[in-house]
């Protein structure tokens, strides 16, 4: 055990960095939001429906204070897995 660090701090963690702000977060999980919207055309009604659909990948993270937040996954960058940079973690894979 590392001096001055509690045992729970030595567990596995995935650290992400928000690309815009540079803030670091602990990865809690990931999700995928999907949506589909259909509305009648203003003139043609249901014969000319306007449709929108999409997918929204996101990640749940925690800051140092334990506050949970959701971000678009594209806005985040992987910093480390179990204390190792991504390249090092994948070297033995």
> What kind of fold does domain 13-81 have according to CATH?
Thrombin, subunit H (2.40.10)
Q: What is the pLDDT along the chain (93 residues), one digit of tens a residue?
A: 455 555 455 567 999 999 999 999 999 999 888 778 888 877 777 777 788 888 889 999 999 999 999 999 999 999 999 888 999 888 876
The pLDDT value given to residue 93: 65
The pLDDT value given to residue 78: 95
d(Cα 62, Cα 16) in Å, to the nearest integer?
Answer: 10
């Amino acid at each position: 055990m590392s001096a001055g660090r509690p045992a729970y701090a030595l567990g596995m963690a995935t650290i992400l960095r928000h690309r815009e702000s540079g803030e670091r977060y602990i990865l809690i999980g990931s999700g995928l939001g999907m949506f589909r919207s259909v509305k009648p055309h203003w003139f043609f009604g249901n014969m000319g429906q306007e449709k929108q659909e999409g997918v929204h990948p996101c990640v749940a993270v925690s800051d140092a204070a334990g506050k949970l937040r959701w971000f678009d996954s594209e806005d985040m960058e992987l910093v480390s897995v179990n204390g190792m940079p991504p390249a090092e973690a994948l070297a033995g894979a």
